Amino acid sequence: MSTVSETYEGTIEREIYSAPQIAGAIEQLAARIAADFAGQPLLLLGVLKGALYVVTDLARAIARISDGPSEVIVDFICVSSYGNQTRSSGEVRMLKDTTETVTGRNVVIVEDIVDNGLTLEYLHALLAERKPARLSTCVLFDKPYHRRVDVPIDYVGLQCPDEFVVGYGLDYQELFRNLPYLAQLQPWVFST
Protein backbone atom coordinates (compact mmCIF):
# COMPACT_ATOMS: atom_id res chain seq x y z
CA MET A 1 0.00 0.00 0.00
CA SER A 2 1.43 3.39 -0.93
CA THR A 3 0.80 6.63 0.97
CA VAL A 4 -0.69 9.88 -0.38
CA SER A 5 2.72 11.53 -0.42
CA GLU A 6 4.13 8.61 -2.44
CA THR A 7 1.24 8.87 -4.91
CA TYR A 8 1.89 12.61 -5.36
CA GLU A 9 5.67 12.26 -5.43
CA GLY A 10 7.19 13.38 -8.72
CA THR A 11 3.89 14.75 -10.07
CA ILE A 12 4.32 18.45 -9.22
CA GLU A 13 5.96 20.64 -11.88
CA ARG A 14 5.92 23.81 -9.74
CA GLU A 15 4.19 25.50 -6.87
CA ILE A 16 2.15 28.50 -8.05
CA TYR A 17 0.84 29.82 -4.72
CA SER A 18 2.03 28.61 -1.32
CA ALA A 19 -0.34 27.82 1.54
CA PRO A 20 0.54 31.11 3.33
CA GLN A 21 -0.07 33.10 0.12
CA ILE A 22 -3.48 31.46 -0.25
CA ALA A 23 -4.26 32.15 3.43
CA GLY A 24 -3.36 35.81 2.89
CA ALA A 25 -5.69 36.05 -0.11
CA ILE A 26 -8.52 34.47 1.88
CA GLU A 27 -7.98 37.03 4.67
CA GLN A 28 -8.25 39.86 2.14
CA LEU A 29 -11.42 38.40 0.61
CA ALA A 30 -12.88 37.98 4.10
CA ALA A 31 -12.12 41.60 4.98
CA ARG A 32 -13.87 42.90 1.86
CA ILE A 33 -16.91 40.65 2.24
CA ALA A 34 -17.19 41.36 5.98
CA ALA A 35 -17.16 45.12 5.31
CA ASP A 36 -19.73 44.87 2.50
CA PHE A 37 -22.15 42.83 4.63
CA ALA A 38 -21.47 44.50 7.99
CA GLY A 39 -24.42 44.10 10.34
CA GLN A 40 -26.33 41.92 7.87
CA PRO A 41 -26.92 38.18 7.68
CA LEU A 42 -24.89 36.37 5.04
CA LEU A 43 -25.22 33.03 3.27
CA LEU A 44 -21.92 31.72 1.91
CA LEU A 45 -22.72 29.23 -0.82
CA GLY A 46 -19.74 27.03 -1.68
CA VAL A 47 -19.60 25.23 -5.01
CA LEU A 48 -18.52 21.64 -4.46
CA LYS A 49 -16.29 19.98 -4.69
CA GLY A 50 -13.57 22.47 -5.58
CA ALA A 51 -14.54 25.28 -3.19
CA LEU A 52 -14.62 23.10 -0.07
CA TYR A 53 -11.53 24.68 1.48
CA VAL A 54 -12.19 28.20 0.19
CA VAL A 55 -15.62 28.41 1.77
CA THR A 56 -14.62 26.87 5.11
CA ASP A 57 -11.49 29.02 5.45
CA LEU A 58 -13.41 32.11 4.30
CA ALA A 59 -16.23 31.54 6.80
CA ARG A 60 -13.73 31.25 9.67
CA ALA A 61 -11.75 34.28 8.49
CA ILE A 62 -14.96 36.35 8.43
CA ALA A 63 -15.72 35.18 11.99
CA ARG A 64 -12.40 36.66 13.17
CA ILE A 65 -13.37 40.12 11.91
CA SER A 66 -15.25 42.44 14.23
CA ASP A 67 -17.90 44.68 12.62
CA GLY A 68 -18.65 41.99 10.02
CA PRO A 69 -21.94 40.29 9.12
CA SER A 70 -24.49 39.72 11.88
CA GLU A 71 -24.48 36.00 11.09
CA VAL A 72 -22.86 33.66 8.57
CA ILE A 73 -24.53 30.51 7.32
CA VAL A 74 -22.61 28.09 5.11
CA ASP A 75 -24.32 25.98 2.51
CA PHE A 76 -23.15 24.01 -0.52
CA ILE A 77 -24.27 23.37 -4.04
CA CYS A 78 -22.65 20.59 -6.01
CA VAL A 79 -22.32 20.72 -9.78
CA SER A 80 -20.25 18.89 -12.31
CA SER A 81 -19.08 20.63 -15.46
CA TYR A 82 -18.67 18.49 -18.53
CA GLY A 83 -15.71 18.95 -20.80
CA ASN A 84 -12.40 17.37 -21.54
CA GLN A 85 -9.97 16.50 -18.77
CA THR A 86 -8.70 20.04 -18.27
CA ARG A 87 -11.41 22.41 -19.57
CA SER A 88 -15.13 22.67 -18.87
CA SER A 89 -17.64 22.94 -21.71
CA GLY A 90 -20.16 24.92 -19.69
CA GLU A 91 -22.58 22.01 -19.78
CA VAL A 92 -23.33 21.90 -16.08
CA ARG A 93 -25.12 19.14 -14.22
CA MET A 94 -26.62 19.82 -10.79
CA LEU A 95 -25.66 17.07 -8.36
CA LYS A 96 -26.87 18.69 -5.11
CA ASP A 97 -28.99 21.80 -4.74
CA THR A 98 -28.85 24.20 -1.80
CA THR A 99 -30.30 23.09 1.53
CA GLU A 100 -30.99 26.67 2.60
CA THR A 101 -33.59 28.91 0.98
CA VAL A 102 -31.99 31.57 -1.20
CA THR A 103 -35.02 33.82 -1.63
CA GLY A 104 -34.69 37.13 0.22
CA ARG A 105 -31.18 36.42 1.53
CA ASN A 106 -27.74 37.94 0.99
CA VAL A 107 -25.92 35.23 -0.94
CA VAL A 108 -22.27 35.05 -1.94
CA ILE A 109 -21.48 32.23 -4.37
CA VAL A 110 -17.98 30.98 -3.52
CA GLU A 111 -16.09 29.31 -6.38
CA ASP A 112 -12.61 27.85 -6.47
CA ILE A 113 -11.61 28.96 -9.96
CA VAL A 114 -13.13 30.62 -13.01
CA ASP A 115 -11.87 29.83 -16.49
CA ASN A 116 -14.31 30.24 -19.38
CA GLY A 117 -16.96 31.47 -16.90
CA LEU A 118 -19.77 29.19 -18.04
CA THR A 119 -20.12 27.31 -14.75
CA LEU A 120 -20.38 30.51 -12.71
CA GLU A 121 -22.77 32.03 -15.24
CA TYR A 122 -25.03 28.98 -14.95
CA LEU A 123 -25.01 29.18 -11.14
CA HIS A 124 -25.53 32.94 -11.09
CA ALA A 125 -28.54 32.69 -13.42
CA LEU A 126 -29.99 29.76 -11.49
CA LEU A 127 -29.76 31.51 -8.13
CA ALA A 128 -30.84 34.93 -9.44
CA GLU A 129 -34.13 33.33 -10.51
CA ARG A 130 -34.78 32.54 -6.85
CA LYS A 131 -34.78 36.26 -6.01
CA PRO A 132 -32.12 36.61 -3.30
CA ALA A 133 -31.95 40.02 -1.59
CA ARG A 134 -28.42 40.39 -2.93
CA LEU A 135 -26.36 37.97 -5.04
CA SER A 136 -22.57 38.30 -5.21
CA THR A 137 -19.79 36.09 -6.52
CA CYS A 138 -16.41 35.32 -4.99
CA VAL A 139 -13.64 33.44 -6.78
CA LEU A 140 -10.31 32.49 -5.27
CA PHE A 141 -8.38 31.87 -8.50
CA ASP A 142 -9.13 33.80 -11.69
CA LYS A 143 -8.05 32.54 -15.12
CA PRO A 144 -9.33 35.34 -17.40
CA TYR A 145 -7.61 34.16 -20.62
CA HIS A 146 -10.42 32.07 -22.18
CA ARG A 147 -13.52 33.79 -20.84
CA ARG A 148 -16.55 33.06 -23.04
CA VAL A 149 -19.11 35.01 -21.00
CA ASP A 150 -18.96 38.27 -19.11
CA VAL A 151 -20.00 36.91 -15.73
CA PRO A 152 -19.80 39.42 -12.84
CA ILE A 153 -17.16 38.55 -10.22
CA ASP A 154 -17.39 40.78 -7.16
CA TYR A 155 -14.48 39.35 -5.15
CA VAL A 156 -11.33 37.93 -6.79
CA GLY A 157 -8.52 36.41 -4.72
CA LEU A 158 -5.52 35.63 -6.92
CA GLN A 159 -4.69 35.69 -10.61
CA CYS A 160 -3.93 32.22 -11.92
CA PRO A 161 -1.62 31.53 -14.84
CA ASP A 162 -3.07 30.03 -18.02
CA GLU A 163 -2.39 26.49 -16.82
CA PHE A 164 -4.40 23.61 -15.49
CA VAL A 165 -3.83 23.78 -11.74
CA VAL A 166 -4.47 21.51 -8.78
CA GLY A 167 -4.48 21.75 -5.00
CA TYR A 168 -6.41 23.63 -2.32
CA GLY A 169 -9.60 21.86 -3.42
CA LEU A 170 -8.85 21.63 -7.14
CA ASP A 171 -8.45 18.13 -8.53
CA TYR A 172 -7.16 16.16 -11.44
CA GLN A 173 -9.27 13.02 -11.73
CA GLU A 174 -10.33 13.55 -8.10
CA LEU A 175 -6.74 13.53 -6.83
CA PHE A 176 -4.65 16.44 -5.50
CA ARG A 177 -7.53 18.28 -3.78
CA ASN A 178 -5.77 17.91 -0.44
CA LEU A 179 -2.51 19.52 -1.56
CA PRO A 180 -2.31 22.58 0.73
CA TYR A 181 -0.88 24.77 -2.06
CA LEU A 182 -1.74 25.52 -5.72
CA ALA A 183 0.40 23.65 -8.22
CA GLN A 184 0.95 22.85 -11.85
CA LEU A 185 1.31 19.16 -12.66
CA GLN A 186 4.06 17.57 -14.70
CA PRO A 187 2.94 16.86 -18.29
CA TRP A 188 3.36 13.09 -17.97
CA VAL A 189 0.54 12.96 -15.39
CA PHE A 190 -2.01 13.78 -18.13
CA SER A 191 -0.89 10.90 -20.34
CA THR A 192 -1.38 8.16 -17.74
List the interface residues with ligand 5GP, window 118-147 (CB under 6 A): 118-120, 143
**Residues β-bridged to residue 1:** none
- Asked if 74 contacts 101 with a C-beta cutoff of 8 angstroms, the reply is no
Give me the least distance between CB of 70 and ligand 5GP, in Å please. 29
Q: Which residues contact 23 (CB under 8 A, 6 or more apart)?
A: 57
* Cα–Cα distance list, 63 to 4, 37, 38, 48, 68 (Å): 32, 12, 12, 21, 8
Closest to 130 (Cα-Cα) out of 151, 105, 111, 154: 105
- Asked if 101 contacts 132 with a C-beta cutoff of 8 angstroms, the reply is no
Known catalytic residues are 115
Among 11, 40, 88, 98, binds ligand 5GP (CB under 6 A): 88
Among 25, 165, 185, 189, binds ligand 5GP (CB under 6 A): 165
Q: Residues 53-82: x/- map of binding to ligand 5GP (CB under 6 A)? A: ----------------------------x-
Nearer to ligand 5GP, 76 or 164 (CB): 164
Q: Binding to ligand 5GP by residue 15, rule CB under 6 A?
A: no
Query: Coil, strand, or helix at residue 164?
Result: coil
Nearer to ligand 5GP, 73 or 172 (CB): 172
Nearer to ligand 5GP, 29 or 170 (CB): 170
> Where does this chain bind ligand 5GP (CB under 6 A)?
50, 81, 88, 90, 111-120, 143, 164-166, 170-172
